[in-house]
Amino acid sequence: MAAAAGRVAAAAALREAGALRFGDFVLKSGRASPVYIDLRGLISHPLLLRQVAALLFQTAKDAGLEYDCVCGVPYTALPLATIICSENQIPMLIRRKEAKDYGTKRLVEGTINPGETCLIIEDVVTSGSSVLETAEVLQKEGLKVTDAIVLLDREQGGKARLEERGIRLHSVCTLSGVLEILQQQGEVAVEMVEKVKKFIQGSVFEPVAQNGPDPVKRLCKELSFSARAELPGVHPIAARLLMLMEKKQTNLCLSADVTSSKELLQVAGILGPSICILKTHIDILNDFTQEVVKELRTLADQHEFLIFEDRKFADIGNTVKHQYEGGVFRIASWSDIVNAHVVPGSGVVKGLKEVGLPLQRGCLLIAEMSSQGSLATGEYTKAAVQMADDNSDFVFGFISGSRVSNKPEFLHLTPGVQLQTGGDNLGQKYLSPKEVISEKGSDIIIVGRGILSASDRLQEAEKYRKAAWESYISRLGIRAED
């Protein structure tokens, strides 16, 4: 009875705070949705905030959980965790999204006693990624994480994914449970309930049995690009990119390594409909002007592709900040995406982020390279993944030869792709679209000379587009059968 009363109270709180709305909404990814969930507004309703915190605490109590401290997933769950700890005299920890570059440089604030058990508090769980990120940070501090409490489980596979990683998820209510309560109360029509259920079922993230030595590729069923665009932790640039990839049925990035502005604009105009990204090396143009990038920006909007300046920033934060924002090229003013080496440490990302974040730009980290003898392997790659995790508000993926992170919010772009595998005399190694997408788990192929050296560039681009897209569709099918 107590649990049922809790579900009714939670449904009422969600509805009253405007956190759960039904109708026709356009999500940040551009996808239409019949349901919109956003609990950030709870902080403006102090009584409801306390009520939700009490429900979370009671759920933990009813489950008989024993724990020494509490940590809320940043940011929405922080005030909930604060109330729980304050009213029940429980030590609290705060997980930072990124370490400070001064003082203790800690990712977790509070008194940490290794060996103790920390309970995680979350507002909404979809894929479980945010809870896993918090758990990983806490575990690195020597804490045990066995359970997480959430107000609303969207029932899209997050619970099973967390259990696979040894974390039990306890929810105050599920989305289907809230729907049933609101339907019974006459708040939501039966047709809308069915519409929402169908929408949710179309984006389920499910774990599968692991076979073989590669946990990154076998951790979970493959989500479609459009489903990944809907994940709550996905970067706006990633969401936009994933949706236009699905819409245009292309996961081809063109590396437009040309030296004249006329040819660059010509290539963008002709091949724009076939690609999702145009990658530039703007500093090799012999006749660069700001007018060129204005025209390029117009073509990008017209043909729906993103611009990626392959600058490979690799200096201290203050320097890259100026390189990105100013100089002759003013890259931040026109390029949706840039990339960076992780050699300089986190300062390179922080410098870029100061400029790019307000402009809603995104960054890729170079985790692996396609050239023979590359040193970007092993610990270097692991460091790149960690840096991306710590800066996921700006970094949305990797330049890599394979999938280096199992988090579906991150995209993987792979260079060195040709229909005919092999290499050149300068150490470049080439893989086929099928190898890159189906076998190595990457998302987007980057092709340059394979298209630009063809007599019919559009025809060749279409060959690459179809090969990469078919490999992606095949990957979805293969994963679905596992």
User: Distances from the Cα of 154 to the Cαs of 11, 204, 249, 451, in angstroms?
Assistant: 13, 10, 28, 43
Work out whether strand 422-423 and strand 411-414 pair parallel, antiparallel, or are unpaired.
unpaired
Active-site option among 144, 195, 197, 312:
312
**Quick one: which H or E segment has residue 14?**
helix 2-16
Segments in 330-454 forming alpha helices (H): 347-356, 378-390, 433-434, 449-452
Number of alpha carbons in the 13 Å side-chain half-sphere of residue 27: 26
- Who contacts 5 (Cβ-Cβ below 8 Å, separation ≥6)? none
Residue type, 140: K
Active-site option among 315, 389, 429, 466:
315
Euclidean distance between CA atoms 309 and 292, whole angstroms: 14
Euclidean distance between CA atoms 98 and 391, whole angstroms: 6
Residues in the chain: 482
Q: Please, what is the angle between helix 77-88 and helix 46-62, to 10°?
A: 70
Euclidean distance between CA atoms 361 and 333, whole angstroms: 9
The 3-class SS string of 64-129 reads CCCCCEEEECCCCHHHHHHHHHHHHCCCEEEECCCCCCCCCCCCEECCCCCCCEEEEEEEEECCCH
Nearest by Cα to 16 from 235, 182, 207, 244: 182
Euclidean distance between CA atoms 480 and 217, whole angstroms: 13
CA 50 to chain centre: 31
Euclidean distance between CA atoms 322 and 309, whole angstroms: 15
| DSSP character at residue 223 | P
214 noted as active-site residue: no
Q: Are 127 and 161 in contact (CB under 8 A)?
A: yes
61 noted as active-site residue: no
Q: Is 337 helix (H, G, I), strand (E, B) or coil?
A: strand
Token reading at 250: 């292309």
Q: Is 36 helix (H, G, I), strand (E, B) or coil?
A: strand
| Residues with catalytic roles | 312, 315
